[in-house]
Amino acid sequence: MKICIAFHACMDLGGIINHTEQLIGGFQDLGHDVDLFEMVYADKASRQRKTGDFVVGPSGIPHDQGKGWNFENHQRLPYKTWAGVHSAQQVLNSYDMVIWTVPVVPKNKNHLGNDKWPHLYDLDPKVKQVAFVHDGNCKSGAPHLYHVADKLSGLACVHACALNGASHLPIPRTLVVNPQDTPIRTIADWDDKNTGFVNMQTFKAWKHAHELVEAIAYMPPKLDGELREIAGRGIEYQYMTSEDKCKENYFHSNESVFEGRKFWDVALDNGMVHHDYWPTDEVTEWLEMARVLVDPSWSVRYSKIGGHWNRVVVDAMIHGAIPVAQARGMGDEMFEAGVHYVDLGEARDAQDYADIVLGVSGMSSQQATEYRDNAHDILSLFDRREVAAQVIDLAHGNLSTQIGEIDPAVWTKYEDLMFEQYGILV
């Protein structure tokens, strides 16, 4: 089968890069031919030469976790003119299946007046089309999915929050988790792994990285070989480290022993080490070393919709690290607190937070084995070959799915957006 992965560039790539690369790898493992293209709203598209820590994965296209892919010009399909639309359609129609890894074009100034994007989905009926939903923000972030709903064979939703957040769409949808390469593998003995923790993410407010940084102040002096590693950047990193724009709630209180100092500065003094985004091979190295991954992410809004676990939690389990995470983010659809991970929600304050993290780090081998065995029991669900097979089954109607009903309020948002952003009357 010939499969095309079609990518609409967006500002916040998050885990989309890893997801796409591993999905491509899964299709290739099954013997399919796969190509990745960027859809570009422009008259023409040139090759990209962004600088950074670029590596090459299954797509064969150099990518950086923070900056995306460096596409060659033939891998970028411009479609601002009608000639460009027809050329892009010709390329897409040459495949058996097209997968939209970002389901629709983003709502930003780069696409203001873009009345051509819906035509990218006007393909030969023999071409199966599937779109991925990566978060629970579909109602407000992608109401224009209504416009191409009849073109899509299915929606692949990466977690429960994404699945439940798309309940307003009359498109068959199902849970298709993030693909992983060889999730069942030999892991290091617990006693051979480093104490302490690692943490990696894009710094957003709902990722709650500041809570971990605050808690580091309450940990005892770092021991030899102990890890206190935080990797990533983002807007909240800028605030936390800024000399003159640090948010008020990123400072210790004046009444504390830290006398109003910034969380970040105290954490650095107490052994925290900050890294830029880690490429995939370094993520693997750190998780193989570490006993604990801390993922404090959770969203008030998303937690009301469903579990919105992050890919890195599964990465940790694969490499024998025990996740310390928020039950409010993990949900209860796939993972269970006290079975697959340790819940941070029990922390009453920063001292409790620190104690929970270091308590997991100091677990006995017997205690750790229970968590690691439980993780092993579910990791096969994330095998990229299984995930790729699910996507193919979804495209051909061979999976159990749910189909939502149109939400009038979201439909109104869709109508308004199509006219105001893209100049299209519905």
pLDDT per residue as tens digits for the range 188-206: 999 999 999 999 988 999 9
Q: What is the pLDDT of residue 64?
A: 86
DSSP for 278-333, please give it: PPHHHHHHHHHHBSEEEE----HHHHTT-----HHHHHHHHTTPEEEE-HHHH-SS
Report residue 405: phi and psi, to 5°. -115, 145
Q: What is the pLDDT of residues 345-364, one digit of tens each?
A: 989 999 999 999 999 999 99
- Identical fold for domains 2-181+383-420 and 190-382, yes or no, is yes
Token pair, residue 309, equals 């676990």
Domain positions in the chain are: 2-181+383-420, 190-382
Name the CATH superfamily housing domain 190-382. Glycogen Phosphorylase B; (3.40.50.2000)
| Confidence (pLDDT) at 346 | 86
Q: What is the pLDDT of residue 49?
A: 87
Q: Helix %, strand %, coil % for the chain, to 5?
A: 40, 15, 45
User: Average pLDDT of the chain?
Assistant: 96
| Least confident segment among 62-66, 103-107, 130-134, 346-350 | 62-66
Query: What is d(CA 229, CA 294) in angstroms, rounded to the nearest whole number?
Result: 10
User: Alpha-carbon distance 77 to 39, whole Å?
Assistant: 5
Q: Residues 223-232: pLDDT tens digits?
A: 999 999 999 9
Average pLDDT over residues 398-419: 97
pLDDT for 34 equals 98
Number of Cβ atoms within 10 Å of the Cβ of 388: 25
Q: How far is CA 215 from CA 84, 211, 266, 306, 336, in A?
A: 53, 6, 10, 27, 24
CATH of range 2-181+383-420; options 3.40.50.2000, 3.40.50.2300, 1.10.10.10, 3.40.50.261: 3.40.50.2000
Q: Which residues neighbour 88 within 8 Å (Cβ) at sequence distance 6 or greater? A: 39, 77, 78, 79, 120
pLDDT number for residue 66: 74
pLDDT at 51 over 90: no
Amino acid letter, 170: P
pLDDT at residue 11 greater than cutoff 90: no
